[in-house]
Amino acid sequence: MNDGWSAEIASDPTSGFELVVEISEGDSHRATIRRDTSGELRLIFYRSNGDAEIPVVWLRDVLERAERELPGAKLRS
């Protein structure tokens, strides 16, 4: 059970349309998973006024999916 959380692969128009994973709770975007220039996955939480209780097993599954499906690092000049 994910308690209203969802994760979707999307392209980020503000970053050259690179693929990212958008994490939402209901209708609120709460975080993004993206690869940095070295190829490492980064989880970026958006600032909010309340705590976010994310189910750990669900988040683990999302991170494993991101590791498999997001393209490797692209060198940026």
Per-residue pLDDT reduced to its tens digit, 28-49: 899 999 988 888 898 998 887 7
Structural domain contains residue 43: yes
Residue 76 has pLDDT above 50, yes or no: no
Average pLDDT over residues 4-23: 92
The pLDDT assigned to 75 comes to: 43
Confidence of residue 9 (pLDDT cuts 50, 70, 90): very high
Structural domain contains residue 33: yes
Structural domain contains residue 44: yes
* 9-37 as b/e: b if 16+ CB within 10 A: eeeeeeeeebbbbbbebeeeebbbbbbee
Q: Which two tokens stand for residue 16?
A: 């050259």
Global model pTM greater than 0.85: no
Q: Which two tokens stand for residue 50?
A: 């309340």
Total tally of structural domains belonging to the chain: 1
- Neighbouring residues of 28: CB distance < 8 A, sequence distance ≥ 6: 48
Structural domain contains residue 62: yes
Q: Which domain, by its residues, includes 45?
A: 5-69
- CA end-to-end span of the chain, whole Å? 42
Report the 10 Å Cβ neighbour count for 41.
13
Average pLDDT over residues 17-34: 92
Structural domain contains residue 63: yes
Structural domain contains residue 76: no
